[in-house]
Structure 1
């Protein structure tokens, strides 16, 4: 009887896995074999060998040199063995699949030995400097494969795609640092040192040392990393609360973010502070030692996690909420830990000194960490541009005060009704009760007991009212962060109206008018729309008018009057010369800023010598089993979407400047269901390249397509872009006459002048020449980064026709502002350092 298809597939998959990661499987097997053979599986090494297996300064001093190696293959209890197995299979397996078995084995042992050398150097040094924390690690036994495994996977990370390399490194570094700072056990320090060794090994072992430089990330990836940092450090206090005897420098923060519930002994010691309550009543109060107190103590943690989700989505309110939360935690840390009591000011013979108390070294990092995270978020605030739904925001602003009033008012009414006024110190007792009820701050147990109310309803509200109020706050905040409205300064009705006009008529760039961050102007008749962005009081259009072509000229003049009334400088960008005569009569000048490549595709057969490269790409794709897959983004599988993101991140990470926008689309613009994607996919599902095509409408019918997004997998086959564009030609040539390969920014044909033509005044020609020189310098500066000239040369392989795209402006004195506006439109996230680098490139 044959083996069933299901089990057979599983056996084959297991066989392939064993062949791919033999080292990871061997190390895991060795770990469990050693545990079973020595009886160490359930509770660690038995007494007979407990000093013969783990490594420590004492074992090395006594000559047990083999513990340096044996310590990597033993662990503690059963849970530790399961965790060690997961680390070996996951991290060592990933490293082995990435850079091979031999190099992984070298990295594993080198990382293990390097981490031990660093550990036995750092700990004695810290002890010599007076660190009590490190003094507790001096003679601690060390065992486990964690440091070696982390070093191996970090060493292999340069060979992983930029997207996952950045995520993997950031996650490992953040988690190990969090465990070190919050839990602070010897094993946590060793694991962190293993990560540092991994970075050193990566620089030595990587076959691509050029990739050791800082890798740039997109706004989306920056948001994901910042969100992860907030979430990881929010989880730190929880880990410290769950750990046994945490000793890390930040362990005390668990009292602020996870307000500890008092123990029975603490409650019993403070029973005398209660008024008219028995000790049993105090001990079993749900507000002090029950669900209400526990829920209230978790509020800061959950709030930071909610903010982290909002940060991941780019929500601007979540950004400011997270910054505020960390600032509050930092201030409360200083107050709670009495930081300022560690400083003293004395006067000695006319001099003033500021001596520092001995505990400030341990306390200061606790206070600084929240401020550092807040500063990091503030420094990257430009990446958070998503606004919340205004209707939901208004409702939330009404709901939360109302809910607070209900709980506070209900508690006050119950407090008076149950005679607490006469049992307590009057209204002062009531006012001191409300903060304890609503604020998740670690009030002293004596204070909490002393303000505990008498009766039935007031204790019930005291115990659960604050937690219920914060539950409403957290749910409302999460819903608010999940809502979305791009900060585009445009009503949704304007976007829908612009979409209708784009389908009525436009040019090859008109679909870009519907992208985020654009504003809209409509003529009085409502037949023509113009998309523009406003920077430095310049109204920079996104292409030309769209809608009814017969009204374009009159609408252009109306738009100029609108700009004049609004004190804006009109600047037409990436427009054809269709309305040039009318604009020239109004004093406008023009300069070529791009060259669009138009490809007539009716009857193309790719025959002749000039099509040799295209035919080669098609034939090569056929031999490799690569096909062109056409679909919209929303219909793609999760795997294909992930690969598109990885390819895009790889491309962006290689650039010294951020990803450009304005008339250049990114992954976000692919998510429109009107945009067609063409993916080069092989038989194993690997994406070799991707292009996107924007529709061009006339009278509600698609009459052309425009190439926008182009990304090639760095490991894809040569000629993938030729294959994708050729596939587009074959698909579209039966339905449209011409397609656009889009414009190549800051490139132009050398045929003919792009400045104002004959008959115009010499000053116009002069400033046009100056602008052209500046644009040429800018293009030369950006060429090594973005390769616009190379892109234009590549498009020549398809024998296209050319059409100049112009920038048309009216006032030459406004050219500096126009230049700044164009730069900000294309690179809105340009930092000061990047601006300086760009200027150096322009100036040569």
Structure 2
């Protein structure tokens, strides 16, 4: 027996010891499920003699058993690691009892087996191990970090809610109740301090959450169409999507009985692959849109909004125009449940569209004009061709076709309102087939045409049309270099101006009639001074006011003869790492932090993002998301980077990890070049976990200095803390300086710029003042607003007023 084979039992035993509750549940699921399958084969049904152990039995087949075991290992195992064994037992038992117990009460509410519109058709005997699994992992989410707590809850609730709303099995109801119970139980079990209320998401996390919701909403109707007991509240919506001219619903005609039509819609199932393929055609568009949302596509937002709006309108017309839909239904309960079901089928897609419109600013990736035009031309030409085909076939039909407008509306395919189907059965078979195919084909064309503008498969590498300028800026930075903000000029969102000789450039962001630069000119040093005046003249020719933000005071002095004024806005802190040492009284805190980190086995890894292990990357993303969630303001930008900027292959990350490879903190460093080689690094992102030991950031910066000393780098910049300075300004305060001081004071409790500047002084750097250069004092109010909008483009008026009041 090989050593690897002999080690298997030992590893299995260690796993069982670490997660005993998970191991016991896996064993119970395996034993009860196998017994249930055997009894079902022998006796045709599973007896009720299992007692309370029935909650562990996945009795529908071998596949269900394997999937359930996998769910226990992954989800319950993760729960046990998060909150410990005894809490896992409590969560497993309590959420099962609450979910099945409260769900069992539905047996006393829903007593009519003939109810086709009711949500509560099942019986309290429909136990399912997934009730406990869902309840346990939602309970454990309270013990996870901000990022995974939100992801677990949103994903779990989205899945179980979709199953309940579309399929409507009683086991789905149990799972929803167990998830709700787990949410409450987790908050009760978690005794550590926790923040209440709404927790802010980063743009990236907002994209993930909304993309997940849209993908689930696309899969939900498919689940309902193939379900054998589709009685969910949104079953009418699935019927609107699934039924069409090729497979018309019995009783749905303009002069028919509403009850018969409604029952036909609620009992409609996609019984063959052909019908299912036609039914899912419009859902492909949602699938493409959901994938585009993950990539931050603004085009995907509007695509999903349009599809959800069309779906809601189709549902409203379908059920609103059928006469007598209330009087034909029997029983008050039926009428109430059916009315709620129809309203939900309209409200849910509308609500999804409204949320996307409200949060559209989180989707910052804009498609190129070429891709948008390509989408419009493709869809428009396809629609014209398909409608022409319908009209040609209709004209050649043996029987005269009246009202061609109905045929045009029927081209919506699966989303055509049923009120337009009344005459389709009398049409020529060939025309019926064409009309039935036109809609799905059109939706497939829309889905395929939307792939590129949404970036669902291939991201748009030139989303804002500035890729060429950005690459040109990178080339200038590599050759000639730049100032403190140099590499920040390559970030998304900047616009560019280049000198006529191509030896210098300026990156800026325009707000209204003000162009705020990202630092000073970059490129060859002897061309930067001239670039100041040329850029200012170019802005004036375009009717804009140029404002050089965060440039060195010596450079700004060249504008003084032309009447420009300056205001101090920050101080750059840098030193020469080639002479770096931790000796000296001023660096006592740094020396102590480094020695402590090394004693505790903490290591620092200098790497590009692409070379980091996947597990490390995921931890960094979680740390960054938690950092954003703790702030009460939107994400800042302009000269402050995040995870997206860390992905640049030219950027370096320095990661602090303990002996178990757990990420404690991370920093990112932007390069400075001269003559094609790196001569300096500038600190950008600083993130740490709440459990990281004190001094971990000092350890990381000291480790970076040692790395740069070994590499022979000339300059280590701790960057400039925006809107923060140590020395008092010489110039008297005026309007814009008061505004910037107000903003700095408001942001200090949130982002800690001034405390960050004090932190940097521990390393004994040299301080260089950075100023805002402006051409005209009259423009100062608009310049101040433009600077604030550059940092906080998503700041709402309500947030601004609230924080200004808090400052006062």
Query: Hey, what's the Cα distance between the residues in 1 that align with 2:21 and 2:582?
Result: 50
Q: Hey, what does 2:476 align to over in structure 1?
A: 501
Query: Hey, what's the Cα distance between the residues in 2 that align with 1:339 and 1:415?
Result: 26
Deviations 1:696-727 (A, max 9, x none): 12333322111111112333343322222112
Query: Structure 1 266/102 Cα, relative in aligned 2: closer, same or farther at 3 Å?
Result: same
Query: Hey, what's the Cα distance between the residues in 2 that align with 1:99 and 1:784?
Result: 32
Deviations 1:19-58 (A, max 9, x none): 22211221232233345567776479987943x65xxxxx
Query: Structure 1 112/411 Cα, relative in aligned 2: closer, same or farther at 3 Å?
Result: closer
Match of 2:556 among 570, 580, 583: 580
CA contact (8 A) 2:670 2:684 kept: yes
Query: Structure 1 534/685 Cα, relative in aligned 2: closer, same or farther at 3 Å?
Result: same
Query: Structure 1 125/311 Cα, relative in aligned 2: closer, same or farther at 3 Å?
Result: same
Query: Hey, what's the Cα distance between the residues in 1 that align with 2:720 and 2:39?
Result: 66
CA contact (8 A) 2:123 2:170 kept: no
Query: Hey, what's the Cα distance between the residues in 2 that align with 1:506 and 1:603?
Result: 23
Q: Hey, what does 2:344 align to over in structure 1?
A: 365
SS of corresponding position for 1:298: helix
Query: Structure 1 138/358 Cα, relative in aligned 2: closer, same or farther at 3 Å?
Result: closer
Query: Structure 1 132/399 Cα, relative in aligned 2: closer, same or farther at 3 Å?
Result: closer
Q: Hey, what does 2:759 align to over in structure 1?
A: 794
Query: Hey, what's the Cα distance between the residues in 1 that align with 2:249 and 2:666?
Result: 65
CA contact (8 A) 2:655 2:665 kept: yes
Number of residues of Structure 1 aligned to a counterpart in Structure 2: 776
Match of 1:190 among 171, 174, 196: 174
Query: Hey, what's the Cα distance between the residues in 1 that align with 2:273 and 2:71?
Result: 35
Question: 661-670 vs 205-214, which deviates more?
Answer: 205-214
How far is the alpha carbon of 1:435 from its aligned partner?
A: 5.2
How far is the alpha carbon of 1:132 from its aligned partner?
A: 8.4
Q: Hey, what does 1:325 align to over in structure 2?
A: 307
CA contact (8 A) 1:506 1:545 kept: yes
Q: Hey, what does 1:77 align to over in structure 2?
A: 60
1:154 maps to 2:138? yes
Deviations 1:232-281 (A, max 9, x none): 111111111121121111112112223369779969x99xxxxxxxxxxx
TM-score of the pair, normalised by structure 2: 0.87
Which residues in structure 2 correspond to 1:743-754 (within 5 Å)? 743-750=720-727, 753-754=728-729
CA contact (8 A) 1:254 1:260 kept: no
Query: Hey, what's the Cα distance between the residues in 2 that align with 1:525 and 1:34?
Result: 79
Match of 1:227 among 208, 211, 214: 211
SS of corresponding position for 1:361: helix
How far is the alpha carbon of 1:210 from its aligned partner?
A: 1.9
SS of corresponding position for 1:557: helix
SS of corresponding position for 1:715: coil
How far is the alpha carbon of 1:295 from its aligned partner?
A: 2.9
How far is the alpha carbon of 1:783 from its aligned partner?
A: 1.8
CA contact (8 A) 2:368 2:465 kept: no
Q: Hey, what does 1:834 align to over in structure 2?
A: 799
Q: Hey, what does 2:298 align to over in structure 1?
A: 316
Query: Structure 1 743/488 Cα, relative in aligned 2: closer, same or farther at 3 Å?
Result: farther
Q: Hey, what does 2:450 align to over in structure 1?
A: 477
Q: Hey, what does 1:282 align to over in structure 2?
A: none
Query: Structure 1 142/400 Cα, relative in aligned 2: closer, same or farther at 3 Å?
Result: closer
How far is the alpha carbon of 1:199 from its aligned partner?
A: 1.3
1:304 maps to 2:286? yes
Query: Structure 1 488/824 Cα, relative in aligned 2: closer, same or farther at 3 Å?
Result: farther
Q: Hey, what does 1:545 align to over in structure 2?
A: 521
Deviations 1:360-388 (A, max 9, x none): 33321111111100101111011112122
Aligned alpha-carbon RMSD (Å)? 3.4
TM-score of the pair, normalised by structure 1: 0.84
Deviations 1:332-385 (A, max 9, x none): 0001112685799xxxxxxxxxxx998533321111111100101111011112
Match of 2:413 among 423, 436, 439: 439
1:781 maps to 2:746? yes
1:336 maps to 2:318? yes
Query: Hey, what's the Cα distance between the residues in 1 that align with 2:454 and 2:436?
Result: 29
How far is the alpha carbon of 1:201 from its aligned partner?
A: 1.0
* Structure 1 gaps, min length 5: 54-66, 271-287, 345-355, 757-764
Query: Hey, what's the Cα distance between the residues in 1 that align with 2:58 and 2:386?
Result: 51
- Which protein shows a greater Rg? 1
Query: Hey, what's the Cα distance between the residues in 1 that align with 2:46 and 2:615?
Result: 51
Query: Hey, what's the Cα distance between the residues in 1 that align with 2:42 and 2:125?
Result: 12
Question: 828-837 vs 231-240, which deviates more?
Answer: 828-837
Query: Structure 1 35/249 Cα, relative in aligned 2: closer, same or farther at 3 Å?
Result: same
Q: Hey, what does 1:14 align to over in structure 2?
A: 12
Query: Structure 1 111/775 Cα, relative in aligned 2: closer, same or farther at 3 Å?
Result: same
Deviations 1:491-540 (A, max 9, x none): 33322222222231321211111111111122333322111101132111
Q: Hey, what does 1:63 align to over in structure 2?
A: none
Q: Hey, what does 2:21 align to over in structure 1?
A: 23
Query: Hey, what's the Cα distance between the residues in 1 that align with 2:591 and 2:34?
Result: 62
Match of 2:400 among 425, 428, 431: 425
Query: Hey, what's the Cα distance between the residues in 2 that align with 1:376 and 1:316?
Result: 13
Which residues in structure 2 correspond to 1:68-147 (within 5 Å)? 69-78=52-61, 80-119=64-103, 136-137=120-121, 140-147=124-131
Question: 405-414 vs 293-302, which deviates more?
Answer: 405-414
How far is the alpha carbon of 1:729 from its aligned partner?
A: 0.9
